[in-house]
Structure 1
Amino acid sequence: MSNIVVVNNKQHHLVKIESSVDVLLVGAGIMSTTFAMFLTILEPTWKIHIYERLDEPARESSNVWNNAGTGHAAFCELNYTQYNYKDCSVDISKAVAVNEAFEMSRQFWAYLVQTKALNNPSSFINNVPHMSFVWGEENVSFLKKRFQALQSSILFSGMMYSEDFQQIHKWVPLIINGRNVSQKIAVTRMEMGTDINFGALTQQLLSELKKSLNFKLYLQHDVYRIKHSFDKTWDIHIIDRCHSQKKCVRSNYVFIGAGGKSISLLQSSGVPEVRGYAGFPVGGQFLVTRNKKIVAQHLAKVYGKAPVNAPPMSVPHIDTRILDGNKILLFGPFATFSSKFLKYGSWLDLFHSLNKHNLIPIFQAGIDNFDLLRYLISQLIMSDMQRIDALREYYPEVNSSDWTLVKAGQRVQIIKRNNEERGILQFGTEVISSNDGTLSALLGASPGASTVVSIILELLRTMFNSKINSDSWKNIIIDMIPSYTRKLDGNIALLNKIRRYTCNVLELNYMEATDSKNMGKNGY
């Protein structure tokens, strides 16, 4: 039997502690490895552990096949700009915020390349133009208004707009060849868009982290429970699958970056902040071609409009991907459903996450999103030919024999109570933290990986508030992220300085931003 200690008139069972650390991170994906890199730079003497349930890091959402690899900068994603039907205006605030966040990520990666922590930038980031593509009078009108609205921000300087078939053909011939010339179409194009291999980036980060004597990565170690200890630290209960044994590690701080499993682990901690939260799992599939003749006709990430009542992550797009130096084309996603919260998870994940606190919010969200459920059902019963027909809208001359269907990763969307205490389905990412800030978890999905540095800075402010405001930490962070504490939007001198620096170091094409009054000249 375990020993018992009484603290504040409560009995606490003492468990055998295998080791103690300063910070423990769950999941070896882009989030945890980036967080570990930040902490190693800021506090080199801290003991930091990452525990990963699989036999390799970055096999879930960070894996190159489990995401679209788009450096989400809001250049092409139409769901980041909301259209107001009442006054026919376009709200670009989210697009600006996402772009600012992505610029922070690029600065951090550039810093790591300069300090030799990362090498060969083209192994994880490459220029691929970002484009939006629509057809039909109503959609063309929206895209034009979106383009015009974005001109008010210098972050989108250099964006081009066209409705001309010949011009669009020069950019993306695959989309135009075989298309009816009477069809009303429009595109926007941003040359400085990127394709990112987050799996390769994660692997490089881990290679550098392993050089530190205070860092340890444990693979095939499954965290199954997190509990507050009597001394206000955290006891992390782990199954060591290599040796088929259980162990417990004590940590002062815990970050759960375990993708879809984060919500279950957060629930196991017992923190009241997670009450009412639930997860809604959605998977995806993509059509892929490696045919070099087809791939040669398309160098872009082309995003369209999501179908009515479809979730934002279902936005159809035909993308150039660069994997280990080789180009392929990918089209999708096509939604799938599974009760798994992870691609390599359990069919019982969804059911294990249900409790008395989140059943009502789930039920309410289901009622309010019945059209979404109907959309998902329609996706699940799609035939192979129907998927090819969807691709044909973007690639008129498609031949089904050139394309194969691949399974992508699982995403768990957030269900939570709103201000009216009603359950809602929320897209995007959210950080949930304990009241004392010693435990945090990241829930949700896109734009996640692309805005990783912005998310880590939020975690630092929550978990280490006194330190992040200290001169020592602040000066180091400014070295890593020169625009830290400053906004790029509206500061053209700073924006150009930062982009010139990151593009030079990351070996990307640089585009000088111009005054917003002249930006329209870059367009149509």
Structure 2
Amino acid sequence: MWVNNEGAKSASESVDVVLIGGGIVSATLAAMIQRVHPEWKLSVYERLDAVAKESSNGWNNAGTGHAALCELNYTPEMPDGSVDITKAIGIHSQFMTTKTFWGSLVREGALREPSTFINNTPHMSFVKGDANQKFLRERYRLLSAHPFFHDMEHSEDYGQIEQWSPLLIEGRPAGEKIAATYAPSGTDVDFGAVTRQLFTDFTARGGSLELEHDVTDISRNSDGMWNVAVKNLRDGAAKTVRTKLVLVGAGGYTLKLLRKAGVPEVKGYGLFPVSGTFLSTENTALTSKHNTKVYGKAAEGAPPMSMPHLDARIIDGQRTALFGPFAGLVPKFLKEGSVLDLFASLRGDNLLPIATAGLDNLGLTKVLAQDLIANQAKRIEALRDFAPTAKSEDWKLFVAGQRAQIIKPASGTKGTLQFGTEVISSANGSIAGVLGASPGASTAVPIALDILRTSFKDEWSTWENELRSVMPTLGTDMKAEPEKALELEAEADVTLGLPKRV
């Protein structure tokens, strides 16, 4: 074991690994570490009274198993009119890895009945207009030629699209230029359920999960060990936990904690908070007709996070439909955060990067302004692009999760706004954290693997062999060997109760 109590007289506890945050990233990391070193002491600290209450919660994300089946931002149109599918292949490979891991955990009994967290929900792309029809046609031509997307279908016919998703066509005026693709192997995922089940297994294996415990400071000792200061929010008691490795999956608070730890790699980084709101309905007359996830195209110049989608969802066993997102500007970095988060995050090293990123992303500013002044009538008008017969009384607005988008330092004093996730670690890998949002929870398994490769450089070759028993895609170049990847995915799909791809 790593822990050495020498020099730890001031520490109240010593553990092998401290994980901060009760979301899906920490849960996934803990599951992997326990399988390669079951004897290690792992402690997870979550400041709220339950796990999966922030971005991992089923109501705080779209629940899309992001596999690049329907998300048009993963297949950008180039200036010459060509379509680049490189990113789509990578995203699909990542979700294949996620499914093989979950399948193994179901067989172990670590995850329960698969339908409690993952369900087959076909994914669709839907566009309007001549130019978008042409784009979708070319996207389909390229994707369907790749083994990962061989079962994708395409149509510009009202009748066929209505078979796939009735709400898209009901009440739509005849003669509109529309097009859609249909991927029957798509999924809806309740990431909150995955997180809760993983933590139940974690504690059953001897892991320590402490709720309502806030990490207030992280400092490094001269011997290379970390002291993690933890406060019990119920009674105010404080303690220091000594560890060699700190893994931070605290969402919008990750950057703050890495700064407290003095990690130089985060110098110049900033965050831009965006809240998401959705329209939802549980009207069975609507949800019974809608069993797909339908993604549209973001407006020209708008960021990918504004891409509209109409989602069939199953959350906590309840079938519902969501439409959005509509952006909101709330200066919190977490849904249960503080309105002072943005102000408190400003430093001398990130002021200019944040300012220049704002000037370079006027499209986001425009989307925020439009969404902030939008009323229910405007939101229903946007919904009617997808469901022409939508009625305001059937749909209610709710606030979903809070996302802290990365502002990354670039050349000179400039900053760039990033819409993905990024793993940041210290030079020696003894502390690491995850920043950013989309595709988020869908890539928790690949993110966890990246962290382990960085933080356990010496052990990784051994660990990779051991983890292959629960993640058979490890060591497989899925882009170079797509047929083998599909075979491994098919085995996982059987376990997860997902239909066979034909």
Identify the TM-score tier after normalising by the shorter chain: over 0.9
Give the count of matched residue pairs.
496
Bigger Cα displacement from structure 2, 65-74 vs 322-331: 322-331
Residue matched to 2:142? 149
Matched, 1:353 2:345: yes
- 2:453 maps to which of 461, 481, 497: 461
Q: By how many angstroms is 1:407 displaced?
A: 0.6
Letter in 2 for 1:130: H
Matched, 1:112 2:102: no
Residue matched to 2:175? 182
Distance 1:63 1:15 in 2: 39
Residue matched to 1:423? 415
SS at match of 1:90: coil
SS at match of 1:436: coil
Letter in 1 for 2:146: S
Matched, 1:93 2:86: yes
Residue matched to 2:12? 18
Distance 1:324 1:443 in 2: 27
Distance 1:186 1:484 in 2: 37
Letter in 1 for 2:185: M
SS at match of 1:143: helix
- 1:239 maps to which of 228, 231, 247: 231
Residue matched to 1:76? 70
Cα displacement string for residues 131-189 of structure 1 (whole angstroms, at most 9, x for unaligned residues): 00000011111111111121342111100000010000111111101101210000001
Name the TM-score, length of structure 2 as normaliser: 0.97
Gaps of 5+ in 2: 1-6
Residue matched to 1:52? 46
Cα displacement string for residues 489-508 of structure 1 (whole angstroms, at most 9, x for unaligned residues): 35354133212201110010
Letter in 2 for 1:126: N
Cα displacement string for residues 382-428 of structure 1 (whole angstroms, at most 9, x for unaligned residues): 11110010101111001100010011000000001225652111110
Letter in 1 for 2:61: N
Contact preservation (8 Å) 1:151, 1:157: yes
Residue matched to 1:480? 470
- 2:317 maps to which of 313, 325, 334: 325
Residue matched to 2:215? 223
SS at match of 1:374: helix
Q: By how many angstroms is 1:92 displaced?
A: 0.9
Change in CA separation of 1:250 and 1:177 when aligned onto 2, cut-off 3 Å: same
Matched, 1:278 2:270: yes
SS at match of 1:103: helix
Residue matched to 2:27? 33
SS at match of 2:15: strand
Residue matched to 1:266? 258
Matched, 1:501 2:491: yes
Change in CA separation of 1:94 and 1:15 when aligned onto 2, cut-off 3 Å: farther
Cα displacement string for residues 429-471 of structure 1 (whole angstroms, at most 9, x for unaligned residues): 000001111000100001121111111111111000111112x
Q: By how many angstroms is 1:246 displaced?
A: 2.1
Distance 2:485 2:257 in 1: 40
Contact preservation (8 Å) 1:153, 1:490: no
Contact preservation (8 Å) 1:15, 1:248: no
Residue matched to 2:501? 511
Matched, 1:121 2:88: no
Gaps of 5+ in 1: 1-11, 513-524
- 2:335 maps to which of 316, 326, 343: 343
Residue matched to 1:437? 429
Contact preservation (8 Å) 1:309, 1:375: no
Residue matched to 2:4? none
Letter in 2 for 1:90: V
Distance 1:348 1:243 in 2: 24
Distance 2:354 2:239 in 1: 34
Contact preservation (8 Å) 1:61, 1:67: yes
Distance 1:483 1:420 in 2: 40
SS at match of 2:402: strand
- The sequence identity of aligned pairs, in percent, is 47
- 1:407 maps to which of 387, 392, 399: 399
Letter in 1 for 2:49: D
Q: By how many angstroms is 1:378 displaced?
A: 1.4
SS at match of 1:363: helix
Letter in 1 for 2:39: T
Distance 1:365 1:499 in 2: 39
SS at match of 1:84: coil
Cα displacement string for residues 106-125 of structure 1 (whole angstroms, at most 9, x for unaligned residues): 00000001111112000000
Distance 2:96 2:482 in 1: 14
Q: By how many angstroms is 1:269 displaced?
A: 1.1
Name the TM-score, length of structure 1 as normaliser: 0.93
Distance 2:390 2:66 in 1: 27
Distance 1:250 1:152 in 2: 53
Distance 1:486 1:492 in 2: 9
Letter in 1 for 2:15: V
SS at match of 2:204: coil
Contact preservation (8 Å) 2:123, 2:292: yes
Letter in 1 for 2:478: L
Matches within 5 A, 1:134-213: 134-213=127-206
Matched, 1:312 2:304: yes
Cα displacement string for residues 468-518 of structure 1 (whole angstroms, at most 9, x for unaligned residues): 112xx2222111111212123353541332122011100101104xxxxxx
Letter in 1 for 2:113: N
Distance 2:458 2:295 in 1: 42
Change in CA separation of 1:28 and 1:201 when aligned onto 2, cut-off 3 Å: same
Letter in 1 for 2:282: R
Instruction: Let me know the Cα RMSD of the aligned residues.
Output: 1.4
Distance 2:353 2:340 in 1: 20
Distance 1:109 1:415 in 2: 32
Distance 2:305 2:363 in 1: 16
SS at match of 1:95: helix
Distance 1:454 1:448 in 2: 10
Letter in 1 for 2:495: V
Contact preservation (8 Å) 2:48, 2:212: yes
Letter in 2 for 1:59: K
Q: By how many angstroms is 1:277 displaced?
A: 0.4
Distance 1:117 1:371 in 2: 44
